[in-house]
Chains A and B, each alone.
Chain A
């Protein structure tokens, strides 16, 4: 009896150590490598494939939660990409006036939003276990932040984990609130962006905070200030070779019905794309951002024309584009 207890204890101790080693390897080796790749599909599939493998060790150690912040949010990207495809199928069916196909696509879309919500929520819950609840105040009444160095990859992981919290809420609402993601996450994340300088990570913390300010009915920051911050972060990101802040800006514009400005930003993105050189070690994030912008364009194209935008076209369809410039005068065309 005693022997079996000792063996069990030893086994569980070893299992915990294995879990810690795997998690450390995932955070310190796999994550940096993956961030430097540009195969978005492989990155999200890795999140799906290794999620349970890592989290199976959580009965013995909390260590896998550290890796799950990135792992589960990657897995959520797969569900999100599938939800986007279902959304395009729905819009195409609406264009073709096929109600049954549209309804089936809409149900599929909701189911995939549910999946994206639970995966993002898993990433966010792991973030809470690893770093503490974000947005809380410490004993001195100051914002409590994890002890992570600016520029450190794990600090980026923390920021992406915060984004997962927001995405968990967004996908849950679109699923019909089936995943029960708590609605107090967004205000907490808004505060937690204060753990970063606005200049950190290509302006993403400011972008995230401003997008949240615009979706929460509070009057402590005027909407013009939030819009200006989003626009400023988009430029800052572009200058650093990163399109993630612009993607968030375009998504927010589209979600709030400001299509004329969204189309103008898409045009800026198209011009930027031609010469952009994303930072080599973070190429995956830029690829993901381009995928988000491409989806906004594809939605507009499918609504207007019944199919997505051709791969070489990064622009709103004509019906959504800003009014054409006035015709050139004869003087402009033929004058001196």
Chain B
């Protein structure tokens, strides 16, 4: 017993004395928004007994691969890329599942509130990995080069620049009857701007730095219906961190919700009003039905989305608007 105590003490001392590497994907490296958030996390973590060493990555794949290979103790990557480490929070970006920031706040609060840590335990810790924070980046919107592409029927046959490592996006494009052109984060804007695709999807934050107005030209637009809510997620190996670190880190991430969403909303207001395409009620319903079909297929047939997360998001949508048809149908 005494030996065990000594060993435990030694182990915790070693843990406290060593730096934990946090590999951060940020397209702008150490000058970007995600890295800036990580610095805040680094400062807060000192009080929890963790000394982070921050390492910027401009390639998300490299950050995820280095984490998997054990070169980083933790990693900050988008939810789509984090899905390989945790299917539960990796389903937060499920297409059309979070239609607005109210629903996003509800879901992220439930996922990250310390009081729910026990109930969510096995969902947040899967295998060797734990989700230790989810930061919102903002809504992902469809940019089209022709405003008349304003319904799901009119999307059929169009070519969309698609991130091919995201299986959910590939299925979505297929179900919509559109064709995909494989793209990555460095190529999609060029494809849209030079007219080789008719549509692409991106968070509003991409609009100005990537000059997507060149692809929109005078006749294009941005459909005001979030295809997904992009998040950045902190994934850790809990064995490398003190007990309870995940709970504290998630609570910290939740406290940053307002700050991050304010940045996202600023970016959205930077897109000129004339570009926004509002979808009429009927078309919106058809889009939402299509999104739900895709989510259910990706849950049941492709095992991409986690059923509990889809259910949580359904409940959050219905908590805001119980009149939605899906609230009675409960397919998710």
Contacts and interface: CB of A to CB of B under 8 A. Distances in A.
A128 interface: no
B190 interface: yes
Majority SS at the chain A contact face: helix
Contacts of B11: none
Interface in A54-111: 90, 93-94, 97-99, 102-103, 106
A257 B27 CA distance: 12
A220 to B, nearest CB: 6
Contacts of A218: 186, 189-190, 210
Interface string A308-328: 000000000000000000000
A219 B46 contact: no
A182 interface: yes
A256 B57 CA distance: 6
A218 B266 CA distance: 23
Given A103-B44, A218-B186, A256-B58, A173 B31 contact: yes
Interface string A238-265: 0000000000000010111100000000
B42 A256 contact: no
A106 B40 contact: yes
Contacts of A217: 27, 185-186, 189, 210
A174 B263 CA distance: 12
A173 B28 CA distance: 10
Interface string A161-187: 000000000100110110010111011
Nearest to A100: B47
A173 B46 contact: no
Contacts of A177: 33, 263, 266
Given A177-B263, A257-B55, 17 more contacts: A102-B46, A103-B43, A103-B44, A106-B39, A106-B43, A176-B259, A182-B270, A183-B208, A184-B211, A187-B209, A187-B210, A215-B28, A215-B31, A217-B186, A217-B210, A218-B190, A256-B56
9 contacts: A94-B43, A106-B43, A173-B31, A173-B32, A177-B266, A215-B28, A257-B29, A257-B30, A257-B56
Interface of B: 27-33, 36, 39-40, 42-44, 46-47, 51, 53, 55-58, 185-187, 189-190, 205, 208-211, 259, 263, 266-267, 270
Interface of A: 90, 93-94, 97-99, 102-103, 106, 170, 173-174, 176-177, 180, 182-184, 186-187, 214-220, 252, 254-257, 303
Ranked nearest first, the 8 interchain pairs of A and B with the lowest CB-CB distance are A183-B208, A99-B47, A255-B29, A184-B208, A255-B30, A99-B46, A257-B56, A256-B29
